[in-house]
Amino acid sequence: MNMATLVGVLIVVLLPLLPWVFISGSYHKRPGAKRRAGELLRAVLTAEQYVQLIRQGYIDIPSPSDPERVYRVPRSPGQVQVREKGQLTQWLCLQPFEWVPDADLVVIHKLMIEADEETYLQKANSITPIAVSLFNGPV
Amino acid sequence: MGMLRIISNRGDERRLWNEQDALAGDVEALAALREAERIFARERARGATAFRVEPGKPVERLEQFDAQVSQIVMVPRVVGG
């Protein structure tokens, strides 16, 4: 295979992948993005929430509308747990339309839950555990 | 001083303004304020949600740009996963 053929094959194979690279956002995953996201997270969380996130890997955000409900938001991407009276009742899945750093995901959940819980619940997909006792431990 | 932070795939972009200087007629301060307002409107049109985030105060959703707020955070459009 000569050089011209090799270049041609590479163009044919790689060109269709180019839009996907841009759409998925991977092109923008710069190191500075994670640093800035970490700074925003520190600025937005309360001291107690920040300590909980570091120590336990999640933050518990009390529901503004229901004193018995807490949203458990993980540090890394994943589903948010809805806990009522300490028991897991459902999972929620909500994500931005475009990729953002992990720390920004935590900020998004916190702001929406605290300031716009109704919209948050409307937009999130919810999953109710089939066997709740498996996740909550023995009754 | 006010700060507009826009969450995006580049981390968060920041725009600063000084309302007092803008009110006093400082041209650069006025331009910075107008730029923050313009970006706020652009991101809202794209489906972003704005929140007022100030130390010691509950987070509040903002429908319109408010130059007196010390920190505004804009969250991009979200969808159920």
How far apart are the two ends of chain A, measured CA to CA in Å? 69
Residues A106-124, mean pLDDT to the nearest whole number: 96
Break chain B into its structural domains and give their ranges: 2-75
pLDDT tens by residue, A5-19? 776 766 666 656 555
pLDDT at A133 over 90: no
What's the CA dihedral at A113, A116, A117, A118 to 10 degrees? Answer: -160
**What does the pLDDT average to over A116-123?**
95
Whether B80 sits inside 8 A of A25 (CB atoms) is no
Q: Which chain B residue has the Cα nearest residue A117? A: B61
Task: Name chain B contacts of A29, Cβ cutoff 8 Å.
Answer: 9
Question: Which tens digits make up the pLDDT trace of B20-52?
Answer: 999 999 999 999 999 999 999 999 999 999 999
Would you state the pLDDT for residue A18?
53
Enclosing H/E stretch for B44: helix B27-45
A28-45 pLDDT, tens per residue?
A: 556 788 899 999 999 999
Instruction: Tell me which chain B residues have a C-beta less than 8 angstroms from the C-beta of A123.
Output: 78-80
Q: Can you tell me the ipTM of this complex?
A: 0.92
Is residue A67 helix, strand or coil?
A: coil
Q: Do B80 and A94 touch (CB under 8 A)?
A: yes
| Coil/strand/helix, residue B8 | strand
Phi, psi torsion values for A63, nearest 5 degrees: -70, 135
Looking at chain B, which residue has its C-alpha nearest residue A122? B80
To the nearest whole Å, the CA of B77 is away from the closest chain A CA by 6
pTM of the complete model beyond 0.95: no
Is residue A13 left, alpha or beta, with left meaning phi > 0 and alpha meaning psi from -120 to 50? alpha
For residue B59, what is the DSSP state? -
Which chain A residues have a beta carbon less than 8 Å from that of B61?
Answer: 115-116
B10, B59, B81: residue with CB nearest A30: B10
Q: What's residue B81's pLDDT?
A: 77
From chain A, pick out residues whose CB is under 8 angstroms from the CB of B73.
40, 44, 107, 111
